[in-house]
Structures are given as structure tokens and as C-alpha cells.
Structure 1
Amino acid sequence: MPKVIWISNLRVFATLTVIMLHCAAGGIYLMGKIPDSWWWICNAANAFGRFAVPIFVMLSGYLLLGKYKNLIDFLSKRFSRIFIPFLVWTLIYMLWGSYFGVIPAEKTKLEIIDILRKIMFGGAGGSGHLWFVYMLLGIYLFLPILSKWITQASSQEIKYFLILWVISCTVYPYFNRFLGIKINFEIRYFSGYIGYFVLGYFLGNIQFSNAIPKIGYWALGIFVISWIITFVGIYFSTISNRSIYEANLFDYLSPSVIMMSVTAFLAFKNLFNLEFLPNLTTQIDKFSYGMYLMHLIPMKTISRQWHINFKWIHPIIGISTQFILTALVCYFVMLIISKIPKTSWITG
């Protein structure tokens, strides 16, 4: 089906972008301690990757909302597919952190209480990226209710929800931060990542009257502008914070990142509904969740053991090499594991 092509392309691109983002992330905390040009490269690469996590949520919303039928079947199917690989990799990170961790945050005592605490509250082996899974599982708990609503809602009502979501994510915190004005009208029910879930459903099903390529090109242009706003904004917020990295106003729910996510979604939907190395893309798409779960282990190992990171020769070379090696290791590990029968509980 034509739709599957752009969805697969976008999911693969987002997965690889997350790996690239994390390869560049170490440099953003070193303003003034590394050459300015190096910091800017790390900052721009980190800002570029901020659309990826929202895209995962948007794709889930597009693919799942409106298709819910049975509560028990849905919960058992979605939770087993997401939670079991998450639990397996959480335990792997605990073991890895216990034997190879070099900072306190990665250390895990191999005791039942500490293991259960790390599973419940996160942070096992320094696996901070697993916050995404906790968030996604929380949205899945609400999906049966949301799906029933969205199948009955009009386009106008969905737009109403999304407008209030944007207001709750941007106007409220920005007024409070810059103007010291705290608005007490309670609309936090519209806030959070659930807005991306609804946004994915809306954008995936909306039909534009303009030519499809034109929409895609406009989306690409706005994406670039939003990306520039994000990394320039991070620079000024970091400068104002005495050169200590500060990106609270440019997190995943900020206006510029919301716009990056919207335009990336529309660009792939309208321009990249084409096959690129279809066999490889299909495989990476299949392994995308497993690659996301495991990538910090090879990424950190490559950095610590071989010293290939943003400081190796030059950030562009270091980030690119670390990214390629990490992606290759993740891909081939998932490929090998997938050859073993009934191992989807590892690969996802």
C-alpha cells in the first residue's frame, strides 16, 4: 500500500536521527570548553534530532487511533509488544551498567529492591532514552478512551483539541517564564505528548486541496526555519544561563519542535512516498524499536573504548563515524537475533 512506504521511510529516518542526536549530545554541555564551531555543530545536530521522538508518537496515533476494538486484546497485544522488549533491555542495561558503567548514574546494585526501583522509576544503567517507553505506555493506557472519542469527533472538534493543546504547551509556560504571569484556567488535560498522538491521526488523514508536492516543499522549507530557530534559541538560552546548557524552552513540546515535527510528517507524507533501498528500509523499520532500545550501549562503548565521538578529529567526522558504527552494530545485532525463532521479545 502506498501509505506504508512513507510511514516506513519516516520511521527509519527518525530512528537513525535519534542515534545521531545522541552521538552529538555530549558536546552541547561544553560551551566554552570546546571550540565555538565545534559546539555549534553539536548544537545544530542535537536540535535537528528533536523531531524524532514526537514523530514516533505521531505515527503511533495515525496507525492506532480509530482502529481500537477490544480492550483486553488491545492491551495484551500492544503492551506485550512494547513492554516485554523494554523490560528485557532494562535488565540488560542494569547488567551493563553494573560491569561497564563509569559514572554513578549507570551503576545498578544487582539486588531485587534496586532492580524493581529502576524498572519502576527508570535510569537503569544510565538508559535515559527509555523515558520514551514509559511515556508511550502511559498514552496506550488512555488510547481506548481516546480512540472511541476520535471516531465520533468532527474535524472541527479535533482542531479544537489541538488548538488547546498548543496553547497549554506554549502560551501557558511562556507567559509564566517571560512575563511572570500564571494563568489559572485549568487546561492541563490538553497538555503533554497525547497531543502528538492526536496530531498524527489528524495530519495522516487530512486531505489538502493543493498539489501534494507543493505541500511537501513548503513543509521542508518551514522545517529548516524551525530547526534554525531551535538551535539559535538554545544558544541564547544557554548564554543567559551562564553557558550551562539550557533548552527547557526548546523541549519536545516547544513551538519550534512542534513545527519541526508537523513539517517532517507532512514532508514525508507528500514527498517521500517512494521506495529507497526497499529491502534494507523494510528491515530497519522492522528493527527500529529494538535499535532504539539498544543503541546507547554500542554508542557509549565506541566512545569510551575507541574514543570515537564528537571530539575525535573534528565533530563532523567524529559524530558521523560514531553514528554509522552504532547504527551498523544495532542493525546487525537485531538481524542476528531475528534469525533465532521467537525472539521478538528482544527485537520488538
Structure 2
Amino acid sequence: KTIRTAMRMLDNVIDINYYAVKKARDSNLRHRPVGLGIMGFQDCLHMMRVPYASNGAVEFADRSMEAVCYYSYWASTELAEERGRYSSYRGSLWDRGILPKDSLDLLAEERGGYLEADRSESMDWSALRNRIKEHGMRNSNCVAIAPTATISNIIGVAACIEPTYQNLYVKSNLSGEFTEINEYLVRDLKARGLWDEVMISDLKYFDGSLAKIDRIPQDLREIYATAFEVEPSWLVEAASRRQKWIDQAQSLNIYMAGASGKKLDETYKLAWLRGLKTTYYLRTIGATHMEKSTSKTGALNAVSADGGLSGGKVATYATSQAAADELDGPACVLRPGDAGFEECEACQ
């Protein structure tokens, strides 16, 4: 029901949307592409108490995305029956009876067999095939996993298919700075009698990582492993299970704590072998970071353990503060009626 409602709303947006360019409007009305995605994948794993780096998480990625895609495509056929097929439907992959999973066979054939992708399924795809054959599709594209970096914060869940970035961090955007903490972790620590001032200080000092906090049990370390503590191969494996169902692609960031030529080669070769269409950013950890200490009140300070600041750190802090002051203001000084306002992309 939720997916049907979402697909109907997305299809409506195509008609009522504002188009700055006529060609964009004509293209959208002709092909009617939409991109239904997901967010909060990591939240689901926390609720099920399944580590991201596990076969259980990979299997859940498979089954959950299969359901999302199945009902998205089904909803599009219902809209096609109600409102008509999109104009360029004839000759499309949908019209030829080729579903996203079938494209794996085409890819394997094109590569000469160099494809190792799981083909299992659990839903009645033959019924969907028959319905598409009878009614067609309302939308040329239906599913795409977007980054959802900002809206996930508004909703209060982890971004799209991402592992937890940090269990405690500060996020900055145009609205200000916000402290984000993993509420599932807090709940579990409270249940085990581990949530106290010392734990709060440790979490701040280690940037939300549990790896170096000795009194954290091993099962919690695995469940609440942060993005850079999860091997990139697990991200790729989970993404490959989703990809076979998705008709577009995924915003798949690769997190690599110790990037090297060998590791990069292995990760991207695995992504290619598993049939991924794309990856997104490659994120690594900086070689240096500001030294931290924690006061009795639990407040973080950018100072050394003896309370002093080294010369290098003073310079870094001053430079960062100057940059922050420079950016403290509106993105654009133009106002309605000013010359160039209509052409300014920031003002749109």
C-alpha cells in the first residue's frame, strides 16, 4: 500500500512539476521516469540486531529490495491500466519482456560469462511479467536509490543504504550544526548498565567508534560497527543483491579506512564482477586529525592532554575559524528584481 501510494505521487509530480526548459518537460512527459528509493537500511539491521558485515545483512538487502521493486513495478502497471502507458513504451525492455533481473543474462552474455551474481528470488515474478505484458508500464524507470543525506536526518534514520557513519558526530548544513547520536546504541548500552559519563566521554573521544572502548561487548562492537570499520566487500555484496532488482542504480559510497592500490583494485573488481552499474564516492580517513581531550563535564575540547595547544593546531584552528566566518552568511546576495537573479542557480 505504501509503495503504491508513493508511485502514484511520483507519477503525479511529473505532470505538476516546474520545468525550466521545455525539452526537459517534453522528455519527462514522454518517458515518465521516476526514482523510488529507500533509506534507513541500517536502522532495520539495528532493529533486527544484525551486523552490517554479515551474510544476514546481505540476505536482508536481497529480500527487502526484491519486495520494494516488485511492488513498485506492479504499481506502475496499475497506473498504466488506469492512465495509460508512457509514450515511448513500444520497443522498450519492458515491452520486450525483459525485467531488471533478466538483464543479468544479457550482461553475462556480453562479457563472455564474466559475471558472478546471485539469481535467487522469492516472489511470484511470473505474475508480474504477465501483468506487464497485458497492461504495460506507466513509467520507463521506477526505482533508484538516492543518497538521502539530508532528508534522512529530518526523518531520523540512517541515509539510504549506508552503514552508520559514526555513532556520535556533528553534522553541519545551512540550518546550523546538529549532534547526531545512535539511539539504538544508547538503548543497548542503557540495557546493559554501560551508559554513563565515562562512556559518553569515550564515545566523544573516539568519534563514536566502539572499537577501542574495552568494556564494550563483542556483539555490540559488531552490530554498531561504523562505516570505516565495515570491510568494503560487504557493501559491494549487499549492493549486488539489490542491483538485480533495480532498473536504475544505487548511490553506493565505498568506505575504506586504509586505502591502497591493491585494496582499490580488489574492491572495484568485485563490484564489476558482481554486476554493479555504478559506485558513488570513495571515502577515506584523513591522515591527521585534531587531538582531543574530554573534561569532567563531558565536553569535547580541541586541546592536548596537558591543556595546551601546539602551534600547528593553533594555526589549523585559526584557519578553520576564519573559513567558517567567511562562509557565515547567505549563499547569494542577490534579491528578487536584481539583475541576474533569474539566472542564478543558487537562488532557484
TM-score by length of 1: 0.23
Looking at CA atoms only, which structure, 1 or 2, has the larger radius of gyration?
2
Higher RCO (C-alpha under 8 Å, 6+ residues apart): 1
Q: Which structure has greater helix proportion?
A: 1
